[in-house]
Amino acid sequence: MPEPLTVRPATSEDQAAITTLWQACRLVTSYNDPAVDFAFAKAGACSDVLVGEAGGTIKASVMVGHDGHRGWLYYVASAPDARGEGLGRRIVEAGEAWLRERGVVKVQLLVRETNTEVVGFYEHLGFEVAPRVVMAKWLKEP
């Protein structure tokens, strides 16, 4: 039986373990510095990074934030060696609870086209594919 998962806000001391988890889950791209993303989320008034810990080890994480209108989940990760134990579901639920506590009524996330194998997982949690065109513009070159 897996140890229970304790969810808490990340601390600066967690940054290395969290970014290592993100890398292990193939969530990091060449144009995103995960340490910078972590620090940016922790410094924001409308964002945070939550971790799920079991046995003193970080097993899951989610970066969560909102723009005053919609909530967003980023870097949803669960330890590859613990898949199937419900960690992903628990950390998504923790991100949703964080948003609800702030009065946010809708949560969204983006899935890279190179990571579509997770779409079924999110559908199982009640997410649905939304027909949208996402447009982007770099304000600073990566």
In order of their start, the domains of the chain are 6-124 (3.40.630.30)
3-state DSSP assignment of residue 99: helix
pTM > 0.85: yes
Residue 37: count other Cβ atoms within 10 Å of its Cβ: 19
Under 8 Å CB-to-CB from 40, ≥6 apart: which residues?
A: 47
**DSSP per-residue letters across 39-72:** HHHHH-TTEEEEEEEETTEEEEEEEEEE-SS-EE
Torsion sign, CA atoms 88, 48, 98, 105: negative
Average pLDDT over residues 52-79: 95
- Asked if the model's pLDDT at residue 23 lies above 80, the reply is yes
Angstrom distance (rounded) from CA 64 to CA 109: 10
**pLDDT tens for residues 29-52?**
888 899 999 999 999 999 999 999
Chain centroid to Cα 71, Å, comes to: 12
